Structure 1
């Protein structure tokens, strides 16, 4: 017994058009009350085209097995056959992830202008560029937890991330002290960023009381200055790749 799939109206297919499919055939076994699966050995994906409009199994089931009453493929002159067909695109999107250590021009100085220790809202630096992406620093007084309000929270924020793209980053964030250059605060942060979560940082970057001291040197003429050094960054490249027939 042979069983085939065929394309309806093959004349509507373009000369170079391909329909890539993964298919399975079924025969119902009344004795076991389930479907027996038949697939083409060694081949997963096949393609229909204007030149190939029929695919299947020329030796789907031997008449001996089909007529064997022990198998019960036929009952009361009825038999049930079926097919599962999954259509795939002839091309698929490929993503290549590259990890870059110490990208060019990876150290930037930025500041939060008009920084206010009284603000209850996040404050941001101007955007700066490292690699092919723009970044900002986001700072605010810690709002959650048992030590609420005791810490300055600092986060590195990626700008313009596309949906469904994740990016890894590792960076050093240093807040500068204009009065005492040896009294800086520094943390290394890292994480996978996406369009839904574009921040990585520390909720307890430095004690708020150290920052808020009038003569502490961290806030100078309403500016809070940072040095950001991007240590590691990932790049994602997208391309189209033809599906290979196996």
Structure 2
């Protein structure tokens, strides 16, 4: 008996890939511009994505979320991934939904025009409680984006943008710069009369880096569960109240206690998104109090402890209009 014919099944392409169009235009984005300097530092940092601050569009607040090496969880490997996100700071009733038609942009600095990416045929997308982020996993291939001759990344700078067609243009934006290791990048705090300290915690003088004010916070006898066991050290963002609602400042830094005799310093890395709700971050159990107080080890000399912080990378955001 002859075999039965095999029915061919055609698998439709992914909707989000099949219904995307790309074009170029001279006009800049009407609603928001997101400029990034020192892009290579962002691409090599320990974060897989970075967000803009909140911006207003009509009666709603939005953000842009960028994956410099692609959103690998959503088929974005090898591409720049860019999304429009509905901000958590929106106060909306249960069952809310917002329908928008939006475009995202990449500026071509050689051609002086914008690569425009949008859903085809003016497709309207719906934001709601279970879907607060929409955009493009494969905005532009990294091989194209990183090729300076193509014009999208020039002198390590690039510009993205957004238009949301439920509002009038705002023209508001921000410039995100990653600052890495300036000439003077280490702050040293020499804590004298260390063995006589009787307060729970002590804070250093304020110092400036990357457009913000910082300080070191030390718990000589340990903090929380490490009391009586460890030295606790934190980096504090002193001007956290100046951050707009919803915005964070990212920093990568090294905390260090200097060995003043033999140069065998104790150091630990840390990284954090500082905000107006969480202003300090570091190590609860930086090193044991036994090691601190062991005079032959060289950490405590003439009853003085030398604590340092080396801020290696931080973001600097400047608003413009």
Residue of structure 2 in register with 1:224 after alignment: 305
Offset of 1:102 from its aligned partner? 2.2
* SS state at 1:227 partner: strand
Q: What corresponds to 1:11 in structure 2?
A: none
CA displacement 1:82-109 (0-9 Å, x = unmatched): xxxx995652542332222223421232
1:6-21 matches, within 5 Å, as none
Cα deviation for residue 191 of structure 1 reads 0.5
Question: Which structure's residues are more often helix, by fraction?
Answer: 2
Give yes or no for contact 2:179–2:210 (8 Å, CA) kept in 1: no
> Could you say if the C-alpha distance between residues 137 and 190 of structure 1 is closer, same or farther in structure 2, counting changes exceeding 3 Å?
same
How far did residue 211 of structure 1 move?
1.0
SS in 2 for 1:91: coil
After superposition, the Cα gap between the structure-2 partners of 1:228 and 1:148, relative to the gap in structure 1 and judged at 3 Å, is: closer
Cα displacement (A) at 1:200:
1.8
Moved more, 127-136 or 231-240: 127-136
Offset, 1:173: 1.4
Structure with more contact order per residue of length (Cα contacts < 8 Å, sep ≥ 6): 1
CA contact (8 A) 2:210 2:315 kept: no
Distance 1:115 1:88 in 2: 59
The corresponding residue for 2:177 is 98
Q: 1:144 to 1:109 in 2, by over 3 A?
A: closer
Answer yes or no: is 1:124 the counterpart of 2:206: no
1:174 is aligned to: 256
1:142 aligns with 2:198: no
Unaligned runs of 5+ in 1: 1-19, 23-38, 45-85, 241-246
Displacement of 1:233 after TM fit?
0.7
Q: Which moved more, 1:130-139 or 1:188-197?
A: 130-139
Q: 1:213 is matched with which residue?
A: 294
Report which of the two structures shows the higher radius of gyration computed on alpha carbons: 1
The DSSP-based 3-state class of the residue aligned with 2:291 is helix
Asked if the contact 1:138/1:154 (under 8 Å) is kept, the reply is yes
Matching residue of 1:189: 270
CA offset digits 1:54-73 (Å, max 9, x no partner): xxxxxxxxxxxxxxxxxxxx
Q: Determine helix, strand or coil for the equivalent of 1:190.
A: strand
Query: Where does the alignment leave 5 or more consecutive residues of structure 2 unmatched?
Result: 1-56, 60-99, 102-120, 125-164
Distance 2:213 2:223 in 1: 27
Could you tell me whether the CA contact under 8 Å between 2:222 and 2:229 is conserved in 1?
Answer: yes
1:71 matched residue in structure 2: none
- TM-score of the superposed pair, with normalisation by structure 2: 0.43
Q: Relative to structure 1, is the Cα distance of residues 200 and 117 closer, same or farther in structure 2, using a 3 angstrom cutoff?
A: farther
